[in-house]
Amino acid sequence: MQGEASRSKLFTRRTIMLGGAQTLLLAALAGRMYQLQVLESDSYKTLADDNRINMQLLPPPRGRIFDRFGQPLAVNQLNYRLVIVPEQSGDLERALSALSDLLPIETRDRERILREARRKRKFVPITVRENLTWEEVSRIEVNAPDLPGTMIDVGQTRHYLAGRETAHVIGYVGAVSEKELEGDPVLGLPGFRIGKNGAEKTFEKALRGKAGSRQVEVNAFGRIIRELRRDEGQPGDDHILSIDMGLQEYANARIQDKSSAAVVIDVHSGELLAMVSAPSFNPNSFTTGISHTEWNALMANERFPLTNKAISGQYSPGSTFKMVVALAALDGGIINAHQKFFCPGFIELGNRRFHCWKRGGHGHMNMNSAITQSCDVYFYEVSKRIGVNAIAAMARRFGLGEKLGIELPSERKGLVPTRDWKLAVHGVPWQKGETLVVGIGHGFLLTTPLQLAVMTARIANGGIAVLPKLVRETQRSGQRLPDTREPFPSMGLSAAHLAIVQKGMNDVTNYPRGTAFSARIEEPGMAMAGKTGSVQVKRITKAERESGVRKNEDRPWKDRDHALFVGYAPVEAPRYAISVIVEHGGGGSKSAAPVARDILREVQRRDPARRGPGENIVLDGAAV
């Protein structure tokens, strides 16, 4: 019994020790609770809110693009996407094979989905396929109960209604690259597209609008429980271009089988009514992700379909430059319009011979007949007397050799050479012979079709320094935004001098000896004035000249001359100016002038200028 009593005492002692220790440990728990819930409570409260409230960006609908009459050119289409959430779908491979009974899933897509599923968190939706047809959507919706974790998600895809006909003007949108990820957080949204070319790129900021946002309460799986706050951003501004889609279509059809470009401009407002470049490409291929074969085909094409030749193509203007030389001469007062030069078919300078395009020569030429018949020798003589710097100065007054500020990326500025330029760039002094070559629009001289159209417009409008523009008006939520552009200044040219040049251009098409008489417009009141140009791509050697110059048609395509034509109409009250280049088209009168004639006749029939800049356009629907 004594053993039992001492055992009881020992037990009691040990129990009290153990109980004490346990009480201390429980007190420690209470202390920890105090630390977490009182001392550090604030920082955990913030973390809890972060957990719960999720900020989501709402991508703004992209601003639409219309032609001058309100015809939609670039719109947003609803894009039905099939997405799958691995967390809910169970075994992903099995889910995908169940899906493939309903709509085909390529092996490549399947691999991409599985790869993304490994990288992303389980609740992040993965796109299975985009651009589902309505039939596919309904097939999936009907079977939805058997397809856990799959959802139809509605996004927006840019769609270009005119496709390749406006591809160079409007450009296209594409996925945001690493480099473009500046500032705006909306760029980081999956599937967000930004302008990559054309007006889409130039007006990117305005077209994009401002992203809205919403705060949602989410659970740990990222699933939305409810919406707390919503801020609808600002849809992108709608842009109304100066382009007349009917004319654009016509011009496209007229040049599409060539490697060519054409620009039609309103000589008073500078509005571009058509700007086409052939061959073209399908911009809709880019919005959904272009295939490798299509991309490679575009890149390998020697006619450069992706280049907008109207602003990025630089060509010697050839004889279309002769008006500038004539005006430089008249403006400098060095020669007058009646002064005659004799054309024997060539001119000699030192020991070099400079040929006229007409081997037998034109005989005695004054300014009018020299323009009409495009006599090279006359302009050699004139250039020799006025010098290259005077020519360059006049060229610059017509907007050559500089960017005209058209609202498109990748505009080139061409080249107007001077004595100083040659010395600075090439390190050798200017040669006198080079002045003669520039005098007929060859040599170092480079211009874009847009520059030639603007040059022609400035001649036609009586010397107003008009500048080209592509956008007529911008509307934000249906409200017209103010236009801050200023009226164009005068070039300060004498009206009499301009009249001489205009008369010459009129005779090119309407006088039987004119180089483009066969391409005249015969409809009353629509007559056009113009100037042909042919640019040698390959130098004619002496041997070739002696053995007889081969005709363009006999040469390989790449060696044929570029054909150019600039013109305006109607001659009585000029309204529309045009420039056309047909690469390797042979002579200007033969292949460029008929194109220009047809387009100028079409623009006068349509008369897009009837919608003046002051008139408001009401666009239908919101930018959705």
Partner 1 sequence: MATQDSFDSSQPGMSLLKRVFQINLVLVVLICLPALVGFAMLYSAAGGEMEPWAARQIVRFGVGLVIMFTVALVDIRFWIKSAYFIYAGAFVLLVGVELMGDSAMGAQRWVDIGPLQLQPSEIMKIALVIALARYFHTVGSEDIKRITVLIPPLLLILAPAALVLRQPDLGTAVLLALSGTMMLFLAGLRLWKLGVALVALLGAIPVAWQFLRGYQKARILTFIDPESDPLGAGYHILQSKIAFGSGGMFGKGFLGGTQSHLNFLPEKQTDFIFTMLAEEFGLVGGIALLLLYFALMAYGTIISLRCNSQFGRMLGMGIITTFFLYVFINMAMVMGLVPVVGVPLPLISYGGSSMLTLLFGFGLVLNIYIHRDIQIGRRQHNTST
Nearest distance from C-beta of residue 24 to partner 1, angstroms: 11
Least distance from partner 1 to the Cβ atom of residue 451, Å: 59
Q: How far is the CB of 475 from partner 1 (least distance, A)?
A: 43
Distance in Å, CB of 277 to partner 1, minimum: 52
Q: What is the DSSP string of 511-566?
A: STTSTTGGG---STT---EEEEEEE-SSPPPHHHHHS-PPPGGGS-GGGSPEEEEE
Write b or e for each residue in 589-610: b if 16 or more Cβ atoms lie within 10 A of its Cβ, otherwise e: bbbbbbbbbbbbbbbbeeebbe
Q: How far is the CB of 20 from partner 1 (least distance, A)?
A: 11
Nearer to partner 1, 57 or 218 (CB): 218
DSSP state of 234: B
Are 527 and 569 contacting, i.e. CB atoms less than 8 angstroms apart?
Answer: yes
* Least spacing, CB of residue 125 vs partner 1, in Å: 18
Q: According to DSSP H, which parts of 259-336 are helical?
A: 284-287, 292-300, 309-312, 322-332
For partner 1, give the closer residue by CB, 40 or 523. Answer: 40
Q: What are phi and psi of 459, to 5 degrees?
A: -70, -45
CA distance 464 to 269: 10
Of 402, 498, 419, 515, nearest in space to 458 by CA? 498
To which H or E segment does residue 334 belong? none
Q: Are 491 and 459 in contact (CB under 8 A)?
A: no
Angle subtended by helix axes 92-100 and 107-119, to nearest 10: 150
CB of 152 to partner 1, least distance (A): 25
DSSP state of 478: T
* Nearest CA among 482, 477, 470, 487 for reference residue 68: 470
Which CB contacts under 8 angstroms, 24+ apart, belong to 220-225? 220/51, 221/87, 221/122, 221/123, 222/54, 222/121, 222/123, 222/124, 223/123, 224/54
Which is nearer to partner 1, 48 or 499 (by Cβ)?
48
Phi, psi of 81 (to 5 degrees): -115, 145
Cβ 396 vs Cβ 402: under 8 Å: yes
Residues lying near partner 1 in the complex (CB under 8 A)? 3-4, 6-8, 10-12, 14-15, 17-19, 22-23, 25-26, 29-30, 32-34, 36-38, 40-41, 43-45, 47-49, 51-52, 121, 217-221, 225
The rounded distance, in Å, linking the Cα atoms of 281 and 284 is 9
Nearer of residues 36 and 622 to partner 1, judged by Cβ: 36
What's the min distance (Å) between Cβ of 221 and partner 1? 6
- Concatenating the DSSP letter of every residue in 309-326 gives HHHH--B--GGGGHHHHH
The residue among 171, 239, 230 whose CA lies nearest residue 208 is 239
**Residue 55 or residue 225: which is nearer to partner 1 going by CB?**
225
Print burial letters for 104-120: b (CB count within 10 Å at least 16), e (below 16). ebeeeebeebeeebeee
Pairing of strands 346-349, 352-355: antiparallel
Minimum distance of partner 1 from residue 12's CB (angstroms): 6
The structure tokens 């396929």 sit at 129
**To the nearest whole angstrom, how small is the minimum distance from the Cβ of residue 46 to partner 1?**
9
* Choice between 87 and 116, CB closer to partner 1: 87
Q: Which is nearer to partner 1, 11 or 557 (CB)?
A: 11
Least Å from the CB of residue 25 to partner 1: 6
Respond yes or no: is residue 269 known to be catalytic.
no
- Give the whole-angstrom CA distance, residue 286 versus residue 201: 14
Looking up tokens 């599409």, which residue turns up?
Answer: 256
Distance CA 581, CA 313 (A): 10
Point out the catalytic residue in the list 319, 369, 383, 591. Answer: 319
User: Looking at beta carbons only, is 8 or 541 nearer to partner 1?
Assistant: 8
How long, in residues, is the chain?
A: 624
Instruction: State the DSSP string of 64-131.
Output: PEE-TTS-EEEEEEEEEEEEE-HHHHSSHHHHHHHHHTTS---HHHHHHHHHHHHHS-TTS-EEEESS
Active site residues: 319
